[in-house]
Amino acid sequence: MEIVGSRRKNSSFSSADDAAVVSTIPLYRSAPELEVRLDDFELYAIHRLRVLKGISDGLSRGKKPNEMENLTKELWKVNMRNSEASEVANKDIISHYVLRLVYCREEELRKWFLSMETTLFRYRFQLETTDAQRALLKEFDLPYKAVSNAEYESVKEKLNQVVRSIGQPLSSADTIYYKVPFEQVPDLVATRRVFIFKGYAYVAMNQVVSLLMTQYRSHLSKALVLTNRKWTSMILEQEKDRLTPIVEALSTSYLGPDYSQPREYGEISLKDIDQVAKSSFPLCMRHLFEKLREDHHLKHGGRMQLGLFLKGVGLKLDDALAFWKAEFSRKVGAERFDKEYAYGIRHNYGKEGKRTDYTPYSCQKIISSTPGVGDHHGCPYRHFSEENLRAALDKMGVGNRAVQDVMDKVRNRHYQLACTLTFEAIHGASCDAGINHPNQYYNDSKNILESRVRATRMVDTLMYAEV
Amino acid sequence: MVREEVGEIGRDDMLIDGVETEQKPNNEVPDGFNVNYLKIYYGKFFPYADMHKWMSYGNDGKHPGCDQSYFGRREFSFTLDNDIYLRFQSFNNVPELENAIKEKCPFKIDIGPVYSVDPAKRHAYAQSGDNVFTPVERELIFDIDISDYDDVRFCCSGADVCPECWPLMTVTIKVIDTALRDDFGFNHILWVYSGRRGVHCWVCDGKARRMTNEQRAAITEYLHVHKGNENSLKKVTLVGQSLHPFLGRSYTEVLKDFFEEKFISSQNLFSDEERYEKILEMIPDESITSELRGKWQDNKRVRDDINVVRWSHVKHLLQSSKHKGQGIRKCVEEIVFTFTYPRLDLEVSKHMNHLLKAPFCIHPKTGRVCVPIDPKHCEEFDPSGVPTLSKLLEELNMGALGTGGEDELDNTSLGESIRYFRTSFLQPLLKSCKEEIESSYTAKIQQSKNSLNW
């Protein structure tokens, strides 16, 4: 990569003296020719999975970039260290390739893995020394040049405006910028962290990691598709007694249940639904439920979020149709409901279109959604104003003290922890695992309530016995 | 994802419009919409050849670099009279397209992406196991619907529009169009009236059509400012010491003047307590809001427009040196953005597989033709002045239709729209498509030569 900086002294990273510096982050461009013990094969993969899972949890709790950096550092240190330096590098590479096998086999798995590995790469890159970063940059061999002095001067004002708009002091502003097609840095475009002119984004030196992430991601994405092909055409059969069982076990053990099939409480009937909504729905679903009862309508995002949740809770398709129809027909008439909305509900149950049995949304998905004007879906802890959230919690019967605790978590953007505290306040019981999924909230709530019912029955029986 | 299949359901005219009161005026030619008239429209007016030229993007030529299967892999979808959806329709040429439309007489025609294989034969490919049926190209599209502005307009709600609120759409076109051209470097952009209460935008440059979903999402987020939903007080929060150049430009060149000179007066934003409280809610400083309330309470009669006067009070207090806090000063901009900044339907733009209504359809509720809007003259566009089905039929009866050929619609009220579509959109687009096809063909030849030369 050739660099022509606007300030000479900053632009030395193609000089000879840093040739000796090597980054510790491998780019995983070719599979390792290493012998691996079967135990290590599995163990390494589990260790790396812990790192990725930790990153995933951090993201869904809305951790800020600097918190994520520390988290990644910590996760890596705890899970990936080894007494021998050469083993560390091997473990890194082996675990990555094992997980490729594990996560290549389905679109959803690929997406998750891709996203977590890219995030991991990002923070590992940022934790490297400047020299190591430059060495890695060179390894990528990007085809972009830094903007010339003259061009820099011509857009300087705009570039500085961007720096101010993202809340950085001007003094620390980079003067080396790369001009790249905006398509290469979607994350910087989406957050308006770059100046864009006629299709080109001006990427500051300290933002270069975004460019690398794009490259890393697209390489890994292609590799996963190829690995999948190889898996189905060869490995699956060849390794059916050795690797296949390990790989298959790995993929299910850590993603948690998807709640697509109601397991614990087989069914829920329409006559109980209001009662159950009050006692066991998390706030996000309760709010949608109440809005639906009130307005007799929900926009698409709300219908999806609530509809799939109810499916996970155990509402049968016929009941679901009756439930939505009862509300919607009051607003748009039964005929219009049948024509325009029934399809979507059958679709959720896999009875239309692609006939996929869709899974209820997880907290992570709900937190990262972007409800707009007229929408009621999303995570209340994230998307409500403080005032509205307080009112909603109050209505749920959360006491003053607990509301304070919840608001603290919200301010620190720990939305799932806020929901966990709400759960604990309402149920008067602890929830050690934390809330990760609205359907988990529901199941945990049901567990507690049912066990109480059983307990009182026990007491009743005992009392009868005494009499 | 789910969206692929439920794409158009629950959007656009599927939204709840309250109770629709259909009024039939007692004219000889009934206003609005009628299947028989629609048949005539599809027989005499609909520009099949132009649509085919557009959707072929130069691939219908004789050049060896042309991809002859291109148009045939495009999904069309018809909504019929009885609300039956026909998805995954595909056509290989103009006559096929024309015959199908004339035969089925769809109330609505939607255009989807170009798929890897002919969408009509997708099941045959599905049997091969590998997921080969996938969208490969799609215009970058935007859908802006004025019913999403219901919390900031007081003249109408739902599906209604009037000359007081339509300018919100004009503002949208200006802001988005400029960003697409100046920031993202796109050139081939078509704006279309959606027939009732909004506008659609088609970005047709080659590089726009080939973007991934992630890249589409990036542009959409870049253009998206409203973060609040129904349960948050503030709909727009601006951070940082200054606005990003794009937002800054939108503010100074479009939004500010529109808000101050037109919108506050036309919507009477400060005329009564209920309305101005909505604005005061956005100011997070009690001392300022109570000072303003005090000032406005006695309802003094003023000679000037009360809205303008009160807005100047707000600006004066917020920007005065007394309040140094960054958050307070930005309130002025936040208020203006909340009321006037474009509100996009995000999901439509983020995914390749969303459907969007084709230009030159007739809106079944209004009978209006979905005509293109020239962004250079968008403030002149008047939704109540667009050609309607009944007007076109009247013209037909009066013999305005030419005798066939390219310019047969010239003397009808659709003529101007067709002319604009051809000369300002289609011709430059096809020219650049041709160049692109030629240059990529040359590059391919060169590459294969090089690989032979080793």
CA distances from B197 to A256, A297, B14, B408 (A): 45, 21, 13, 29
CA distance A303 to A310: 10
Q: What is residue B2's predicted lDDT score, i.e. its pLDDT?
A: 37
Is the per-residue pLDDT at B16 higher than 50? no
Reported as a pLDDT band with limits 50, 70 and 90, residue A75 is very high
E runs forming strands in B68-184: 74-79, 85-89, 108-115, 135-137, 140-145
Q: How far off is chain A from B362, nearest CA to CA, in Å? A: 20
Reported as a pLDDT band with limits 50, 70 and 90, residue A153 is very high
Q: What is residue A467's predicted lDDT score, i.e. its pLDDT?
A: 45
Q: Per the CB < 8 Å rule, is A344 touching B148?
A: no
Reported as a pLDDT band with limits 50, 70 and 90, residue B63 is very high
Average pLDDT taken over every residue of chain A: 84
Which DSSP state fits A375? -
Please compute the mean of the pLDDT values over residues B423-452 and round it to a whole number: 91
Using a 10 angstrom Cβ sphere, with 0-12 exposed, 13-18 middle and 19 or more buried, the burial of residue B385 is exposed
* CB distance B292 to B335 below 8 Å: no
Long-range contact pairs involving A406-413 (C-beta distance under 8 Å, separation at least 24): A406/A381, A409/A381, A410/A381, A410/A382, A410/A386, A413/A61, A413/A62, A413/A63, A413/A64, A413/A382
Q: Per the CB < 8 Å rule, is A192 touching B222?
A: yes
Domain layout of chain A by residue ranges:
1-253, 270-452
Q: Per the CB < 8 Å rule, is B242 touching A161?
A: yes
Find the radius of gyration of the CA atoms of chain A: 26
Average pLDDT taken over every residue of chain B: 87
CA distance A188 to A190: 6
Contacts of A387 in chain B (CB under 8 A): 233
Q: Per the CB < 8 Å rule, is A190 touching B14?
A: no
Q: Which residue shows structure tokens 């015959």?
A: B99
Q: How far off is chain B from A127, nearest CA to CA, in Å? A: 26
Compare all CA atoms of chain A with the CA of B213 and give the residue at the minimum distance: A186
Please compute the mean of the pLDDT values over residues B335-349 and round it to a whole number: 93
Reported as a pLDDT band with limits 50, 70 and 90, residue B238 is confident
Residue A96: both structure tokens together: 């990555």
Reported as a pLDDT band with limits 50, 70 and 90, residue A266 is low
CA distances from A333 to A329, A337, A398, B6 (A): 4, 6, 37, 20
Is the per-residue pLDDT at A464 higher than 80? no
Q: Of B12, B98, B143, B345, which residue is the catalytic one?
A: B143
Identify the CA nearest to A116 among candidates A135, A145, A132, A96. Answer: A96
Q: What is residue A21's predicted lDDT score, i.e. its pLDDT?
A: 67
Contacts of A350 in chain B (CB under 8 A): none
When mean pLDDT is compared over A86-90, A319-323, B13-17, B371-375, the highest value belongs to: B371-375
Reported as a pLDDT band with limits 50, 70 and 90, residue B9 is very low
CA distance A183 to B22: 47
Alpha carbon B395 to its chain's center? 29
Contacts of B229 in chain A (CB under 8 A): 371-376, 378, 383
Reported as a pLDDT band with limits 50, 70 and 90, residue A461 is low
Q: Which of A189, A344, A387 sits opposite B10 (nearest CB)?
A: A344
Please compute the mean of the pLDDT values over residues A292-315 and round it to a whole number: 92
Q: Which residue shows structure tokens 């109540």?
A: B384
Q: Per the CB < 8 Å rule, is A186 touching B215?
A: yes
CA distance A275 to B417: 57
Q: Per the CB < 8 Å rule, is B217 touching A186?
A: yes
Instruction: For residue A431, say whether it is annotated as part of any ligand binding site.
Output: no
- B77 forms beta bridges with B110
- Catalytic annotation present for B139: no
Q: How far off is chain B from A298, nearest CA to CA, in Å? A: 10
Q: Which of B217, B229, B241 sits opposite A190 (nearest CB)?
A: B217
Q: Of B137, B145, B177, B395, which residue is the catalytic one?
A: B145
Which DSSP state fits A179? E
E runs forming strands in B54-107: 74-79, 85-89
Cβ-proximal residues to A280 (8 Å cutoff; 6+ apart), any chain: A441, A442, A445, A446, A449
Compare all CA atoms of chain B with the CA of A300 and give the residue at the minimum distance: B10
Strand order in the sheet with A177-181: A177-181, A200-204, A195-197
Using a 10 angstrom Cβ sphere, with 0-12 exposed, 13-18 middle and 19 or more buried, the burial of residue B365 is middle
When mean pLDDT is compared over A72-86, A214-228, B322-336, the highest value belongs to: A214-228
Q: What is residue A316's predicted lDDT score, i.e. its pLDDT?
A: 87
Alpha carbon A368 to its chain's center? 8
User: A205-219, B254-268, B309-323, B399-413: which range is least confident on average?
Assistant: B399-413
Cβ-proximal residues to A106 (8 Å cutoff; 6+ apart), any chain: none
The SS3 of residue A240 is coil
CA distances from A425 to A358, A393, A406, B104, B343 (A): 31, 10, 10, 60, 38
Q: Per the CB < 8 Å rule, is A385 touching B234?
A: yes
Please compute the mean of the pLDDT values over residues B272-276 and round it to a whole number: 89
Contacts of A344 in chain B (CB under 8 A): 6, 9-10
Domain A1-253 falls under CATH 3.40.50.2300: no
Using a 10 angstrom Cβ sphere, with 0-12 exposed, 13-18 middle and 19 or more buried, the burial of residue A163 is buried
pLDDT digits (tens, 9 = 90+) for B162-218: 999 999 999 999 999 999 999 999 999 999 999 999 999 999 999 999 999 999 999
CA distance A198 to A158: 14
Please compute the mean of the pLDDT values over residues A268-281 and round it to a whole number: 87
Reported as a pLDDT band with limits 50, 70 and 90, residue A460 is low
Q: Which of B226, B248, B347 sits opposite A373 (nearest CB)?
A: B226
Please compute the mean of the pLDDT values over residues B375-385 and round it to a whole number: 95
Contacts of B159 in chain A (CB under 8 A): none
pLDDT: which is higher, B82 or B261: B261
Cβ-proximal residues to A104 (8 Å cutoff; 6+ apart), any chain: A110, A113, A224, A225, A227, A228, A231
Residue B139: both structure tokens together: 């215009």
Please compute the mean of the pLDDT values over residues B405-426 and round it to a whole number: 89
- Which residue, among A189, A297, A343, would best test binding to B if mutated, counting the most B CBs under 10 Å from its CB? A189
DSSP-assigned letters across all residues of B374-405: -GGGGGG--GGGS-BHHHHHHHHHTT-S-SSS
- Catalytic annotation present for B143: yes
ipTM score assigned to the predicted complex: 0.88
CA distance A414 to A436: 12
Instruction: For residue A104, say whether it is annotated as part of any ligand binding site.
Output: no
Identify the CA nearest to A98 among candidates A244, A205, A209. Answer: A244
E runs forming strands in B69-166: 74-79, 85-89, 108-115, 135-137, 140-145
Q: Per the CB < 8 Å rule, is A183 touching B6?
A: no
- ∠ CA B403-B407-B411, nearest 5°, is 80
Taking phi over 0 as left and psi of -120 to 50 as alpha, with beta for the rest, B12 belongs to left
Contacts of A330 in chain B (CB under 8 A): none
pLDDT: which is higher, B111 or A136: B111
- B393 forms beta bridges with none
Q: What is residue A142's predicted lDDT score, i.e. its pLDDT?
A: 83
CA distances from A56 to A27, A43, A53, A254 (A): 21, 20, 5, 12
CB neighbour burial string for B99-138, b if at least 16 within 10 angstroms, e if fewer = ebbeebbbbbbbbbbbbbbbbbebeebeeeeeeebebebb
Q: Of B8, B12, B13, B75, which residue is the catalytic one?
A: B75
Compare all CA atoms of chain B with the CA of A305 and give the residue at the minimum distance: B2
